[in-house]
Amino acid sequence: MSDIIQLLPDSVANQIAAGEVIQRPASVVKELLENAIDAGADTIKVIVKDSGRTLIQVIDNGSGMSDTDVRLSIERHATSKIKTANDLFSIKSMGFRGEALPSIAAISHLEIKTRRHEDELGTLLQVEGSDVKAQKPTQTSKGSSISIKNLFFNVPARRNFLKSNQVEMRHIVEEFNRVALANPGITMELFDDKQPKFQLPASKLKQRIINLFGRMQEERLVPVEVETGLVNIYGYTGKPEFAKKTRGEQYLFVNNRFFKNFYFDHAIANAYEHLLPEKAHASYFLFLETDPAKIDINIHPTKTEVNFEDGQSIYAILRSGVKKALGKHNLTPSLDFETEQSMQYTGTAKAGPVKQPEIKVSPGYNPFESNKGGPSFSPQGSSQRESSNHKNWQELYKQQSDDTGDSEQRIIPSEEEEQRTNSDVFQLHGEYIVTSIKSGLLLIHLQRAHERILYEHFISRLQTTDSSSQKLMFPETVKLNPSDAELFDEISRDIKALGFDFKKQENCLWEFSGTPAGFHQDLQSVIEAVLEDYKSQMMNPSVDRNSNLAMAMAKRTSIKVGKKLETEEMKTMINSLFACSIPEYSFDGRPVIKIINKDELKQRFN
């Protein structure tokens, strides 16, 4: 019987390592950027084509490699960063495993051009699937230029599992952001199919954040600075009023290395206790500096997980530092927490003479007297589907009580009550629309009703691709951060179907010349919020793309609690609601309509 255990060929071992290290084009970008930084580069250019499928090229002005070094760089576990096991506990460089280039070479067509500053000629190395095709002297600039072509050409299953170009590009942008944030002193550029996506000059950290995520970050950031014997923490955290529903802009770095740590994320979230509504997440860009011997970064091939020797103490320091920064800048929540109106205390009036209350009555007053007029106006854009459900609600609303009631004397209404009675509908606490029906009182939640109306309106537009809009007197520009810009490009056709008219001016900047009819909100804020809500629903497989976008748009453009409506506006709202296919519930399943019948009202007085 022959032996069955054998050593794997290097090409197979490299492909296995590539499965751990190189998961998608963004992984290649990350590894090559880290190598360029370790080489001491102060200028780095990244060029991608076809979202990395066709080409990923990273050009730097770092130290370059000799003829021997460039050949060794594609061998497994060949590295200049460590020499002994003890070096693992004092690592400050990025790529130290020696797996990146050999793993990349195993699954692509790799070309390296490199020259050291002291050499006159450089070296050209060409590799296809771990097979060296050529190595020769060449004229090239100082530093290195590494090109990765036809990624996963010999692993078709991996290539087939890649997502759309937009999704893969978002991952590349995210990896670029992480490296750019950790190294603001390095000039960095990113080109997507020859179009500049980022052109970041060397700068301070705050300016780098603004250059990456938009000028609006200028007013949204609070500086954090903590110095202790265990760890130093610096960077910026977001003001509570700008919190988002997704965890997009949350970055933690230790010794300039991006890492993920839910424990420390919880520490930061805890610092915002009582400042954020449920399921809201603040942005932060925080850097930890600690003794490399007290952390272990060699626990995962992608090096995004880090073990800390004294994580509990750092948790406390991090929480305290963020909390102190928020307190130092006198930040208080400015979000509407929908305070219960009945619990509000307005104080007592100034002392004065006590008057005996008077009761005035009118024998002829009847609060249940029918109003013959009834609402009839229906706004443009409301759904006109005459379902049986719609008819039933319309009939219920129009059936005003014709019972004249008994002839007992009734209290004369105040001026406000007289106004309510003269119309058949009124607004309660700025939150509800109230009207009488034959069986009692009908209450409608104002905001949810408008969300339902808008949701069905936008769904209809998305299904019919009606792109009509109202023109703006003056065009407005909207600038998005690169991640949101990628998503906006992906769904731009649907955004236009909602009623927006725009054209792209440059990278991450759009000029809007039209908006949906009746749109009066701040354009920049609404577009950002719609994209944020859209992203938060993307992971829900039960919600299709049109519904997701319609929900996001309806939520951000609907009338909010507290908005004062005129009588005709309330009647319009009721008619539009009853024209919907499902008027009883908002798009997220919350009740819109409640009926308090006569028996319930009578019980209140028993």
Quick: pLDDT tens for 18-41: 556 788 999 999 999 999 998 999
Helix axes 567-578, 388-398, angle to 10 degrees: 150
Is the pLDDT at 161 greater than 80? The verdict is yes
The CATH code that applies to domain 213-328 is 3.30.230.10
Proportion of the chain above pLDDT 70, given as a percent:
75
Q: What does the DSSP assignment read for 271-326?
A: HTTTTS-TT-B--EEEEEE--GGGEE-TTSTT--B-EETTHHHHHHHHHHHHHHHH
- By DSSP bridging, strand 43-49 and strand 187-192 are parallel
Q: Say how far apart CA 74 and CA 18 lie, in whole Å.
A: 12
Listed by start position, the domains of the chain span 10-202, 213-328, 366-606
pLDDT of 136 reads 95
Q: Say how far apart CA 292 and CA 296 lie, in whole Å.
A: 8
The superfamily CATH assigns to domain 10-202 is: Histidine kinase-like ATPase, C-terminal domain (3.30.565.10)
- 445 contact partners, CB below 8 Å, separation of at least 6: 431, 432, 586, 590, 591, 592, 593
pLDDT of 386 reads 39
CATH among 3.30.1540.20, 3.30.70.360, 3.60.40.10, 3.40.50.10320 for 366-606? 3.30.1540.20
Q: Say how far apart CA 457 and CA 447 lie, in whole Å.
A: 15
The three-state secondary structure class of 442 is: strand
Q: Say how far apart CA 165 and CA 443 lie, in whole Å.
A: 48
pLDDT in tens, 358-395: 555 555 544 444 443 333 333 333 333 334 455 555 55
Tokens 């497994």 belong to 76
Rg (the chain; Cα; Å): 32
Q: Taking a C-beta distance cutoff of 8 angstroms, is the pair 495, 480 a contact?
A: no
Is the pLDDT at 482 greater than 90? The verdict is no
What tokens appear for 3 in the block? 């032996």
> DSSP letter at 423?
S
Q: Which residues pair with 109 in a beta bridge?
A: 128, 149
Is the pLDDT at 603 greater than 80? The verdict is yes
Give the HSE-up count for residue 454: Cα atoms under 13 Å, Cβ half-sphere.
24
> How large is the average pLDDT for residues 398-420?
40
